[in-house]
Copies of this chain bind each other. A is one copy, B any other.
Amino acid sequence: MEKSEAAAVEMGNTSRESKGKAPLLAAAVHHNRAAGGQKRGAAVFDLILRVCAVAAAMAATVTMATTEQTLPFFTQFFQFQASYDDLPTFTFFVIAMAVVTGYLILSVPFSIVCIARPAVIGARLLLIICDTLAVTLATAAGGASAAIVYLAHNGNSDANWLAICQQFNDFCQRASGAVVASFVAVVLLIFLVVISAVALRKH
């Protein structure tokens, strides 16, 4: 656009007319670019955070799903072994975080749409609603697993539940790491919701 206009100016107009017009045009283009650039900046930041959240959620899922430990001693009848699916809460954690990871990967194209066309409000609204649901799911999984990991570390004398982390130390370490990764994903998702809310306000 600018180029062809500049060419037209060169071709026939008086130099005074072109001088009067150019700054106004330039100012309008500049203003549009500043507003679009601001929205685009938020959208780019959204995409970066989203990719980080994918990494955190995937790390949480994979860490928990591969957690198992076999103790080096065994009796005649059975071997002492701990795996994530011994505890239903950890199974829920793996499923929920896998769903969140899948959603986050699928949401990347929508985030790219928000970069390419900052004026499209539908994609932004869809992202903020689904992000809120993802926050809830990830937090429920993280919170439930945190409660069980705490119990495994400390036990509870009132309910007569003994700590199992003395025996299954490696198992507990990995489960704790997965819980921490899930909370990192939760914090990133909260920032994503806030960015979307601020970006919606600008429209």
Contact = CB atoms under 8 A, between A and B. Distances in A.
A151 B141 CA distance: 15
Place the interface of chain A in its size category: 35 or more
Interface stretch (A45-53, A59-67, A81-89): A81-89
Given A143-B143, A159-B164, A160-B162, 9 more contacts: A88-B150, A129-B197, A135-B136, A136-B139, A136-B190, A139-B140, A142-B143, A143-B147, A203-B203
Given A88-B150, A89-B150, A144-B146, A190 B156 contact: no
Interface in A174-203: 186, 190, 193-194, 196-198, 200-201, 203
Given A150-B89, A158-B82, A125 B190 contact: no
Main secondary structure of the interface of A (DSSP, over half): helix
Contacts of A89: 147, 150-151
Interface in A29-47: none
Nearest to A139: B139
Contacts of A142: 140, 143
Interface of A: 82, 86-89, 121, 124-125, 128-129, 132-133, 135-136, 139-148, 150-152, 154, 156, 158-162, 164, 186, 190, 193-194, 196-198, 200-201, 203
